[in-house]
């Protein structure tokens, strides 16, 4: 579990880096800032060349020219050049122009200052041309790294606007007898140096990914952005497929059959990650929906004992799992006896168990301490103990129902195993009776993935054995805030439930959709607790209403050849962001420092 926390940390850091790229102001605000930058650039540029009596007039005219050219070229680029690019809509195209003008303005300020102190206005020309060079480099790197345009469109988008915006500068310099031939010749040389230095920078960054993953860094980055911005999962999944390894996925299928409906609990040995709609992030909802469409009734897909190393590489791999599950879920339930719901706790770990026939359904939690991903080794150890005690099968579930700091891993695992053994021993000797089952799902429309609620909503499974009613509450989310589980269980007791457990599916459909430190909201962090509990109570009432005598069936299947990402490739992929950023910091100053030194020497001596 320590490894799981470490991997989650790497995923969160990667998400944080990428999310910072999209904290842009509104288009209206961008246009206002563009107007301000254009006017500031124009007035500073005319300051070195025009007498005070004409400064205001020239400044306004030049600023209007800059602003008009920028707006019109933004529309042209967004509507015609990058119209099929999922990243560069008008707002982001305008934002790129805004950052370019900010860069250019820095050089204009420096040129104006040097010209003022030296009384030599041509310094303003030289620094403006250096600013033009900086803008070219910036646009080439940004557009190559983030756009999916072909090379011709990319090149046009990179150089078209800077060259057009250079023309008002050239006209101003021509009016003041500057060497226009030099300025135009320098702009061509600047383009050559900008292309050479930018692609050298890109090549070096690509080498980082090639060395660690066998894939270039920039295309991976671009594919990630296409998912983040436009929800396109295929480009990023193509990389995951190439990095993946084949794995035989075990799927535990539990079904309860009654006279009116079916209820399914399905636990696949695939982790629902890594984020958004990539890989198996949507698996809990997709599998629930597929089962309910084929068989009717209610289905739920809680989390097994595993981590991100078993994220499916793509949605096509998820479809393999769904197809195999649907094919194998059509069997007859026969067991008619079950034990009461049993709970064992030792102060740190809480383990719940209920035995149906010779199958133990067992769940693990550290609530109110953090309950994150548990290693497969814990499930293997508990299943071995179950076999020793005479059980034919044992289905292990991670309740994943509390997030509250970090716990000592080995201590937690020892506590979980001990509690599980005690729970199983109690289950062996517990009295068995016939049982009733009911289930219901509620889909709260007011809660979204941004709030931490997946499309699967809230499912409650009610099981009655003798005089005891127990509730299994499954929320389609990624963990929940500490203390909420206890509130939910208290509310269910008012409905007559003696005990129960609360689960989240760990869906990563809620991950990487918001811009906070974690990249997602656990259930209850922003969702109002009273409203959430109200929906859970509604689902529980529906489950009680549908309750009737049922039979239990269990089947475990293996789906071979499923591509999963694997821990090491996923960890390297997440760490790639940090590695590239660190490499860029080391490269950027010597590489572009040399480029600007060369440009400065050219401006001085050519």
Dihedral sign (CA 214, 219, 223, 224): positive
Query: What average pLDDT does this structure show over 110-120?
Result: 88
Residue 2: pLDDT band (50, 70, 90) is very low
pLDDT digits (tens, 9 = 90+) for 297-332: 999 999 999 988 899 999 999 999 999 999 999 999
User: Which tokens is 448 given?
Assistant: 């979204």
Helices (H) and strands (E) in the chain, counts: 16, 13
- The phi and psi torsions of 495 (rounded to 5 degrees) equal -95, 0
CB 130 within 8 A of CB 596: yes
Residue 535 has pLDDT above 90, yes or no: yes
pLDDT digits (tens, 9 = 90+) for 183-234: 999 999 999 999 999 999 999 999 999 999 999 999 999 998 899 888 999 9
Residue 6 has pLDDT above 60, yes or no: no
Residue 333: pLDDT band (50, 70, 90) is very high
Instruction: Tell me 250's DSSP state.
Output: E
Query: What average pLDDT does this structure show over 285-293?
Result: 98
Q: Which pLDDT score is estimated for 1?
A: 46
Residue 377 has pLDDT above 60, yes or no: yes
Residue 98 has pLDDT above 70, yes or no: yes
User: What is the Cα 494 distance to its own chain's centre?
Assistant: 38
User: Which tokens is 237 given?
Assistant: 């999944």
Q: What is the DSSP string of 524-571?
A: TSSS-HHHHHHHHHHHHHHHHHT-EE-EEEEEEEEEEEEEE--HHHHH
Round to whole Å and give the CA distance between 70 and 96.
11
Beta strand 245-257 with 551-564: parallel, antiparallel or unpaired? antiparallel
Q: How many CB atoms lie within 10 A of CB 268?
A: 29
End-to-end CA separation in angstroms for the chain: 64
Query: What average pLDDT does this structure show over 542-556?
Result: 98
CB 106 within 8 A of CB 127: no
Residue 21 has pLDDT above 70, yes or no: no
Query: What average pLDDT does this structure show over 80-108?
Result: 96
Higher-scoring residue by pLDDT: 103, 568? 103
Round to whole Å and give the CA distance between 546 and 257.
12
Residue 402 has pLDDT above 80, yes or no: yes
Residue 20: pLDDT band (50, 70, 90) is low
pLDDT digits (tens, 9 = 90+) for 172-191: 988 887 788 999 999 999 99
Residue with tokens 């909802």: 285
Residue with tokens 């021993």: 425
Query: What average pLDDT does this structure show over 290-295?
Result: 98
Query: What average pLDDT does this structure show over 387-412?
Result: 94
Residue 52 has pLDDT above 90, yes or no: no
Query: What average pLDDT does this structure show over 504-526?
Result: 92
Round to whole Å and give the CA distance between 281 and 299.
17
Residue 122: pLDDT band (50, 70, 90) is confident
Instruction: Tell me 389's DSSP state.
Output: T
CB 267 within 8 A of CB 304: yes
User: What is the Cα 432 distance to its own chain's centre?
Assistant: 45
Residue 384: pLDDT band (50, 70, 90) is very high
Residue 13: pLDDT band (50, 70, 90) is low
Round to whole Å and give the CA distance between 522 and 538.
21
Q: Which residues of 157-192 are buried (b: 16+ CB within 10 A; e: fewer)?
A: bbbebbebbbebbbebbeeeebeeebbeebbebbbe
**% the chain with pLDDT above 90:** 82
Higher-scoring residue by pLDDT: 87, 578? 87
User: Which tokens is 516 given?
Assistant: 């906070």
Residue 357: pLDDT band (50, 70, 90) is very high
CB 136 within 8 A of CB 158: yes
pLDDT digits (tens, 9 = 90+) for 436-489: 999 999 999 999 999 999 999 999 999 999 999 999 999 999 999 999 999 999
Q: Which residues of 467-484 are buried (b: 16+ CB within 10 A; e: fewer)?
A: ebbbbbbbbbbbbbbbeb
CB 368 within 8 A of CB 489: no
User: Which tokens is 245 given?
Assistant: 């390894």
CB 272 within 8 A of CB 282: yes
User: Which tokens is 271 given?
Assistant: 């982790």
Query: What average pLDDT does this structure show over 27-39?
Result: 98
Query: What average pLDDT does this structure show over 362-366?
Result: 98
Q: How many CB atoms lie within 10 A of CB 387?
A: 12
Higher-scoring residue by pLDDT: 2, 585? 585
Round to whole Å and give the CA distance between 15 and 573.
12
Please, what is the Cα angle at 535 between 529 and 541, to 5 degrees? 130
Query: CA–CA distance from 469 to each of 323, 493, 494, 496 (Å)?
Result: 34, 9, 12, 7
């Amino acid at each position: 579990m320590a490894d799981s926390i470490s991997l989650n940390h790497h995923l969160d850091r990667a998400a944080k880096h990428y999310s910072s790229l999209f904290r842009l102001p509104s288009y209206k605000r961008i246009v206002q800032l563009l107007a301000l930058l254009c006017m500031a650039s124009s007035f500073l540029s005319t300051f070195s060349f025009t007498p005070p009596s004409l400064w205001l007039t020239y400044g306004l005219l030049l600023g209007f020219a800059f602003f008009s050219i920028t707006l019109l070229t933004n529309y042209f680029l967004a509507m015609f050049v990058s119209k099929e690019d999922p990243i560069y809509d008008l707002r982001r195209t305008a934002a790129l122009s805004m950052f370019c003008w900010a860069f250019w303005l820095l050089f204009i300020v420096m040129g104006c200052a040097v010209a003022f102190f030296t009384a030599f206005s041509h310094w303003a020309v030289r620094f403006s041309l250096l600013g033009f060079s900086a803008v070219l480099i910036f646009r080439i790197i940004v557009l190559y790294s983030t756009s999916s345009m072909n090379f011709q469109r990319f090149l046009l988008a990179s150089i078209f606007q800077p060259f057009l915006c250079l023309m008002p500068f050239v006209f101003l310099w021509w009016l003041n007898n500057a060497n226009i031939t030099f300025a135009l010749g320098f702009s061509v040389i600047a383009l050559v140096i900008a292309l050479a230095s930018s692609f050298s920078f890109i090549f070096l960054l690509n080498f980082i990914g090639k060395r660690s993953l066998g894939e270039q860094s920039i295309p991976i980055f671009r594919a990630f952005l296409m998912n983040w911005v436009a929800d396109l999962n295929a480009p990023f999944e193509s990389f995951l497929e190439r990095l993946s390894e084949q794995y035989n996925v075990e799927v535990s299928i539990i079904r309860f059959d009654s006279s009116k409906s079916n209820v399914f609990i399905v636990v696949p040995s695939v982790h629902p990650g890594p984020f958004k709609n990539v890989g198996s992030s949507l698996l809990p909802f997709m599998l629930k929906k597929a089962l309910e469409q084929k068989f009717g009734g209610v289905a739920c897909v809680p989390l097994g004992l595993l981590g991100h190393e078993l994220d499916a590489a793509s949605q096509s791999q998820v479809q393999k799992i769904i197809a195999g599950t649907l094919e194998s879920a059509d069997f007859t339930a026969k067991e008619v006896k079950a034990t009461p719901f049993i709970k064992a706790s030792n102060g740190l770990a809480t383990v719940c168990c209920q035995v149906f026939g010779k199958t133990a359904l067992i769940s693990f939690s550290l609530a109110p301490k953090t309950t994150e991903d548990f290693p497969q080794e814990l499930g293997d150890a508990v299943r071995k103990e179950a076999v020793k005690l005479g059980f034919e099968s044992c289905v292990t579930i991670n309740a994943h129902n509390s997030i509250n700091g970090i716990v000592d891993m080995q201590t937690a695992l020892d506590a979980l195993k001990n509690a599980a053994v005690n729970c199983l021993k109690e289950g062996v000797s517990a009295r068995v009776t016939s049982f009733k089952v009911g289930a219901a799902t509620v889909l709260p429309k007011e809660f979204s993935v941004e709030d931490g609620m997946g499309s699967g909503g809230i499912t409650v499974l009610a099981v009655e054995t003798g005089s005891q009613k127990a509730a299994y509450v499954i929320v389609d989310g990624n963990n929940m805030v500490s203390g909420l589980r206890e509130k939910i269980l208290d509310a269910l007791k008012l409905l007559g439930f003696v005990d129960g457990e609360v689960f989240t599916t760990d869906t990563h459909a809620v991950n990487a959709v918001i811009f906070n430190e974690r990249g997602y909201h656990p259930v209850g962090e922003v969702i109002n607790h009273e409203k959430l509990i109200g929906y859970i109570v509604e689902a529980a009432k529906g489950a009680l209403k549908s309750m009737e005598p049922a039979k239990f069936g269990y089947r475990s299947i293996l789906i071979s050849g499923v591509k999963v990402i694997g821990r090491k490739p996923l960890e390297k992929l997440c760490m790639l962001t940090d590695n590239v950023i660190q490499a860029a910091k080391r490269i950027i100053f010597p590489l572009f420092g040399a480029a600007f030194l060369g440009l400065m020497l050219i401006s001085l001596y050519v």
